[in-house]
Amino acid sequence: MRHIVITRFNYTDEDKFNSRLKMMVNTLIPSLKRQTNQNFTWGIINNNPKQQKIIQSHYNKPITFFNSGSEAKTYSRDNGYNLQTRQDSDDIICDDYIKIIQDQVTKSNKDILLIQFQPTKLHYKSKKEYHTFRYSNKFMSMFLSLYQKDIKYDIHDRTHPKMYTITPNIITIPEGCVNLVIHDDNLTTKMESYDRLMIKKVRTPEQNQTILKISSLVKTVRKVVR
């Protein structure tokens, strides 16, 4: 299995580049550095040599740069990258993200497979987290990976909602691992009326012990009933 993570990051306006770079340095780059499984290549679609050097200076491993999406597609096919992940530059991913993806491929035993993650929205300034639109097998998440035993497709061959047309073999990872970050420079994503603030309950040690006792009692009753 060869795994490539591909990020599109082409900006002709220097102010926009600097603004988006600052966001990436504070979101995606630290997330990639913290991955417990480092067995992947990070590829970035950016055709500006000066910008490439600046981006590379913020990352501790060599980045593979592409001038275009078609160049990235050809490179992935010719170099045997049979596992491809699309990753926006302002995403936050959990430390086991790469591990989870690769583990799912190994467990599935499928020749072609899509793995999507249900995100929560994270408001960058307030740090508040929200439940958001529920993605499905007919409208897929932007946190998406494609595995193929024989490489035929590219992770950007279709828009992410329509990637299900490639294969019905889809695994969905529930929320808790990825954040769709809302900030001042979002191109399309914003807060919506259906987004719901996540209420994180803080329990006392006594409450936790009570919950454990109740859980244990329920298990005992189920055994007796059986």
Domains and CATH numbers, the chain: 3-190 (3.90.550.10)
Please tell me the predicted confidence (pLDDT) of residue 206: 54
How far is the first Cα of the chain from the last one, in angstroms, to the nearest whole number?
A: 44
Task: Specify the pLDDT at position 123.
Answer: 87
pLDDT digits (tens, 9 = 90+) for 67-124: 999 999 999 999 999 999 999 999 999 999 999 999 999 999 899 999 999 999 998 8
Structure confidence at residue 192 (pLDDT): 63
Fill in the amino acid letter for 189: T
| pLDDT score for 201 | 46
How confident is residue 136, by pLDDT bands cut at 50, 70 and 90? Answer: very high
- E strands, the chain, are 3-8, 41-45, 64-66, 83-86, 92-93, 112-117, 120-123, 129-131, 144-148, 170-173, 178-182, 196-197
Reply yes or no on whether the pLDDT at 221 is more than 50: no
Helix (H, G, I), strand (E, B) or coil at 42: strand
Tell me the per-residue pLDDT of 161-220, one tens digit each, with 9 for 90 and over.
999 999 999 999 999 999 989 876 655 565 566 667 766 544 445 544 554 554 454 444
Ranges of H-type helices in 68-192: 69-78, 97-108
How does residue 225 score in pLDDT terms, banded at 50, 70 and 90? Answer: very low
The pLDDT tens digits of the residues spanning 34-58 come to 999 999 999 999 999 999 999 999 9
Q: Are 16 and 43 in contact (CB under 8 A)?
A: no
pLDDT band, residue 63 (cuts 50/70/90): very high
DSSP symbols for 137-164: TTB--SSEEEEESS----TTSS-GGGGG
